[in-house]
Every structure is written in structure tokens, then in C-alpha cells.
Structure 1
């Protein structure tokens, strides 16, 4: 065996370093929150990206929601892990504030401008900070809708009082966010209220608009005797006739006829009833797509994101979800939803035009439980709305002050 000279060893080391760098640059790792079917949604984007980057290997892994924040925090702390991640809007705000994610407004102004033109406005507002930083791109979304028995009701209730009157006759159940801040949030926005001021510096959840909204929300349970468990079988109840009205997420549009055969031809969807402001604002949930700050492949990751938001790619991603019985509504390319084969699509598009995500404030992920606690004290224990919201605002503001 011939021993290598110092110069040969140096050359070999440099060569290995170069090869290692090429290997790193030729691989992208994406973590997606969801179940084991979730990566199928990304496959059309992977194929389109590989067409222009044939030497790059793209690995997409699913991460269960229950483990996501723990796994993401560990990866970001060690600065080792994925190049791109998906996560809730709150993840983007919280992790971005810690410097863990790439600011797209600075790193990719072309992509940020495209999102400004094509993304759902509510989804974009939910992740854009007051200073303009954008630690991710809207990826997918769900929004609340009003579902009703079209054989029992001629049309959906149009406003708050009309809803109370109809629900007295037909019974009502709320599914998504029942008795929590999320269930209350649409009514807060419909009444003209909000959680924080525009700078996320002060909690204003105890304003008169919020009190009016919570007083109304409590009526749904006190007067209508709506179920208070976290996830009632509202869609099953719609089929059996136990409920004539329900509120839930848009995922039911693609599965209602498939899961509830007895409802075929007997149900419809509509935007939420309008509040005192005349707005029908619904809560907008969903995920964002972000690039980790420690990624050694930032340029490739940005190219991948640009691929995701090409209209034909986005459309194929939405179709891929429908093919396996899922629902993926592209929040970054809302224009592609109009072409999807969905029932009651006009109701969906109308509601998406009046929808808001959670507050885009770093503190919210640590304070949402305070609002839920206030809501549940009023709804479940009959407490006074003003007193509970004032107590919640005081706790939130003390925490905000302590962080300054």
C-alpha cells in the first residue's frame, strides 16, 4: 500500500470537501406537518423542480402536528435539519421572531411581490409583521363555512339575529374551535373587534366590540343549547337530522357526499352570517412554507418556493390532494381555486374574500389560551363578558410589558 504524501492528503481533503459541498447543494429536505399522505401534495412541485434541477434530490417528510413544534425547535436550536418547513401561521411568527427563518421580503423581493398579488389577503396579513418582515409564504388554508340542510331551510341565515331564529327551529352545532378562542374569533371580527393593536404592543380584547361579540357567542350555547364538547359530530348530526345548521371547515366540501351518503342532494354551504358591521368574517386557518436560516441550500430552497407558486404547479398540487380524498386550498395562489371541481365553490370564494387568520403577533402563540379561558368562563359558567375580557386583557398586557 502506498502512503499518501502531505500534498496528496491535502488534495484529497480539498477534493472531499468539494464533493461534500456538492452533495449538500444537491439535496433539499422538506418537513411538512400532517399525516403520511401529506407529502403527496408536494409531489407535483418536486417533479416540476426536478425538471429544471435534475441533479437535486428532494426529500419530503411528514411531521405529525403533535410533534411539530418540538421537532422544529430542536432542529433550529442545533442548526441542523430541514431546508424548508411547513407549519401554522403562529409557528412562522414565533420562529421568525427568534431569527430562525428567512425573511422573504429581503431575500426574495420578487417572490414577496408575487405573493402580494396572488395570495389570499387574510392569509398574508396573518404572517406579515408590522415592520414588513415576511418569515414564510402562505401555503394552504381552511376557512369556516355555514353548512345547512337545504331540504329544511330555503336559504342560509344572513345575519346574527336571523341565525338565532333559524337555529331555534333547526338546532345548531359548531365543530371547528367550539367554545375556544377560535370559535369566538369570527364573531369578534364581525363585530369590529380585534385582539391587539396594530403594533402588537397592547391587548385590546376587552373593547366594546369584543364584549358585544362574546355576549352573542354565549347566546349560541345558553339559548340554543348548542353542544359544548370540543368536536361534536355535527356533520353526522346534519345527516341524521339532529342539526339543521352547523359551522365547520372547508375540508367537508370534498368529503360530505362521500362520508354521508344520506346527505347527497340535501345539504348546501354558505358564508357565515353577517355581524353588526355587515361583515361575514371567518377564521382562516392553514400553514405557511418557510426556509430555515441555517439551510446551506438557500438559493435552491428559494427556487423550490418559486416553483411551488407557479400557477400550473399549484393547481396540480390541489388536484393531487383531491385525488386521495383530501383538501388542499392554495393560500399563496388563491386564483387557482376557481378551477377546482368543488361543490358550492361560489360560497367558498365569497367567504375567502372575508377571512382573517390569527393575530400576526409573536405573543399570540403564548397568549391564545388566556382568551380561550375567558370565552369558556362566559359560555360554560355564565360569567360576565366584560369582566372576563378585562381580566384577560390585563394578564396579556402585563406579559407584554414584562417582555419589553
Structure 2
């Protein structure tokens, strides 16, 4: 197994032309199952040593079952992932397969950077979660097979609520608004928020936007919609919490980390976007008896962010190697591998024949939260639009602009971007 990290400044939005795959033009090409397949895998398993051990085992097991195929799983880092993949696509040199998110899939598919993978799971398509397949399906062709599902929900420091004499943990925006000044009077912020623009909006502002009934893009994807009245009201919800002491003073610049944060120091009462790994960090910092999971918050809607990790076939892959790539996809998304991967990474399955990665109340709550999960709004310009919007959301939290001013200005810039693209 090779571990490589690429560094490049090329942005995904600048990739306009993708070279054709260098495969054979022979109509019989791809009919064989042998070949060499390279996969770029990103940190699904957070512990580096455990990740290397796991993927080395997967690689060996696959090759034992498919001796005619040479599989190379190359572990990458999240740093500059978009630029790295974009550079490879532009150069026509890189992996056959890559693990990406739905919004990345939408971008790379729009510039002909991906090839369909419908045939890879033709016999098992019905066992996969339909929502996870829908975000990867374009014109009836599947461009990504979901390997696992990320999910986050609300976590509480119950000790803070008990000290404040609040018997019912807040599950709605109205309760959050009601309890915020009560906790602020006792020196606690009610809710954790990561406003640093480097934090993906998928785990900061967007869940609040969706809970408020707003959208990022219009239904047809031709316009942005985050300057609508509902979207403005969603940002105003955060700004009002900030003004009432419901968020920590540094919320506008705060990272998404749990360890070393005000939340871990016992200064914040709840976190509305919490993964299983972050839940473990909260318990380690606050004491297991003081942390409890709950359902996703409800504003106008009850919704959370939960996106699948997709295994996609790049346009770099030679057509003569296509069947071998399909074999790898089928194997890595099988019930057996998905079961072991979800257990190793503490992720949730995208197959109906794979159980949750653990037992107990926390896993039950997380599994229930999957019913309210959205993978976001995949769009070819999702990442560039996010980069435009994030600093404006920060400006509103810092009091430099009103919520309406911030979203109006961001929408103007985003519309210029969409017009150019």
C-alpha cells in the first residue's frame, strides 16, 4: 500500500476541460475482469494507524479473492482534497476510483470527470438506501455507490440544564430561545456554534438554514435561494442567540473541534451537530453520565446533515480496466466490507442488510436521526458558493452586518459566480 499526499493550488472550479480516458476504443474492451485498480481513500477512520491497518487488510483480502486484479489503496489527507482531485482529472493521471462526497460528485460529474458505475451494483441496487443513491443519480445513471453514512444529531451537557432547574431538554428552536437567557444569567451559552469560515457550512449554518425552511439553491439549481425570508430568519436566529449570550463570544471565529473548546470546558449546554466520534470526546471531557443524545433540532422543519461517502469511478480509468474497477466497487460496498468499515470508523451503513455499528441508546438515537438526515444540496458550484457565503455569515455573527444585509450581499456575489459558470 502506498501513501501519497499531493499539494496543488488548482481549484476545482477552474477545471473546465477533462481529457478523455486513455482506454482502448475496442468495443470489446472492459469485458475482462483482470487489471490494476488504484483507489484514493480519505480519512474515514480517524486514527491513522488503525486506518492503515484496516485498508491494508481490505486490499489483501480483495486480492486473495480476485488474484487477477492488483488493487492499490492509497491513503490521502483531507487537506486540499478538491485541488488534488481536480489536478488529477485535468492531467488525466491519477486514481481509477476515489472516495468523495455528494457535492463533489455533482461538481466532477458536471465536467465529465466521472464515469457511470450503474453496472457495479446492478444485482444489489435495491439493498442500498434510496436517498443515498438519489444524490448520485443523473439521467438514470449512477455515478457513485455509497460506502457509509455520516450522521450528526444533538448532544447535551445535562448537568448544566439540571443546575439551571430546566427539566426538559430543548428540542425546538423555541425552547432554545426560551432557555438561552436563563442559562446566560448563570454564565452558560446554550448552544455551540462553529463560525470559522474554514468550517464547512454543512455542519454549521446549513443545518440551521434547512431547519428554518430555507434552501441554498433554487429547486432547478439555476439560482441561489439563501437570501429568502426564511433563510434570513434562520441567520437571525443565530444572531439573536449571540446577542442574548446563547453562543460563546468567540462563536464567529470558533472551530468545530470538541477537545479544548468551551463545550469541553463545561461552558456550553448543547451541540446541535454531533457525530459519534464527537460524542465520545464530549463524554471523555464532561463525564459519560453528564452527556445525552437527542433528536435533531426542529425549527420549521426537523432536519440534520448526514451525507454518504461515495465510491466513484473517474474518467482517468482506462475503459479496458472498467470491469476490474466494477469488481472493486462491488467488493468495497458489499455487506461484509460495509459492516467491518462501519464498525472500524463508527459510521452508519447505507445498506439495509448491514446493522448499526454498535448497540445501546446512543446508536438507537443516531439510527433514528437518519430519518431526518439530508445529504445537502449537491450542485456543481456548491463549494465555491459555500466559500462566498461563509464570511458573510461570520460578519453577521460579529455584528458587522445584519442577517439580511449579509445574505443579500453573499447572494449577489454567488449569482455572479453562477452566471460566469
Determine if the TM-score, normalized by the shorter chain, exceeds 0.5: yes
Matched residue, 2:69: 56
Name 1:97's counterpart in structure 2. 110
Contact conserved, 2:342 with 2:357, CA < 8 A, in 1?
no
Give the number of aligned pairs: 369
Q: 1:392 aligns with which of 410, 415, 419?
A: 410
Which of the two has higher C-alpha Rg? 1
Query: In the TM superposition, what whole-angstrom CA distance separates every residue of 1:76-106 from its partner, at most 9, and x where no partner exists?
Result: 223222221112333222112111111234x
Quote the RMSD (CA, aligned, Å): 3.1
How far did residue 299 of structure 1 move?
0.9
CA pair 349-200 structure 1, distance change in 2 beyond 3 A: same
1:111, 1:208 → 2: CA distance? 45
1:311 aligns with 2:331: no
Structure-1 residue corresponding to 2:293:
269
The residue number in structure 1 matching 2:125 is 113
Aligned match of 2:7:
none
Residue of structure 1 equivalent to 2:275: 250
Counterpart for residue 164 of structure 1: 177
Deviates more, 1:332-341 or 1:219-228: 332-341
Structure with the largest fraction of helix? 1
Deviates more, 1:176-185 or 1:146-155: 176-185
CA contact (8 A) 1:200 1:361 kept: yes
Aligned with 1:28: secondary structure?
A: strand
Note the C-alpha offset of 1:125.
4.7
Unaligned runs of 5+ in 1: 1-20, 322-326
1:206, distance to aligned residue in structure 2 (A):
1.4
Preserved contact between residue 32 and residue 63 of structure 1 (Cα < 8 Å): yes
Does 2:306 align with 1:294?
Answer: no
Aligned to 1:9: none
**CA 1:290–1:178: 2 relative to 1, 3 Å:** same
Contact 1:142 1:329 in 2 (8 A): yes
2:192 paired residue number = 174
Offset of 1:155 from its aligned partner? 4.4
Counterpart of 2:218 in structure 1 is 197
Which secondary structure does the structure 2 equivalent of 1:367 belong to? helix
Query: Cα offset for 1:124?
Result: 4.2
Paired with 2:213 and 2:98, the residues of 1 have a C-alpha distance of: 34
Q: Structure 2 residue aligned with 1:381, among 399, 405, 420?
A: 399
Residue 207 (structure 1) aligned with residue 248 (structure 2): no
C-alpha contact 1:149 1:245 (8 A) present in aligned 2: yes
How many angstroms apart in 1 are the aligned matches of 2:194 and 2:417?
Answer: 28
Unaligned runs of 5+ in 2: 1-29, 162-166
Native 8 Å contact 2:115 2:143 kept in 1 = yes
Q: Write the deviation string for residues 218-238 of structure 1: whole angstroms up to 9, x where unpaired.
A: 122221242323326656544
Of 137, 145, 154, 1:137 maps to 145
CA distance in 1, matches of 2:205, 2:352: 25
Is the contact made by 1:147 and 1:270 (CA closer than 8 Å) also made in structure 2?
yes
1:30 alignment partner in structure 2: 39
The alpha carbon displacement at 1:380 in A equals 1.2
The structure-2 alpha-carbon separation of the partners of 1:235 and 1:134, relative to structure 1 and needing over 3 Å to count, comes to same
For the pair 1:349 / 2:364, whether they are aligned, the reply is no
2:390 alignment partner in structure 1: 372
Give the aligned partner of residue 148 of structure 1: 156
Instruction: Tell me the SS of whatever aligns to 1:195.
Output: coil
In structure 2, what is the equivalent of residue 15 of structure 1? none
**CA separation in 2, counterparts of 1:63 and 1:360?**
23
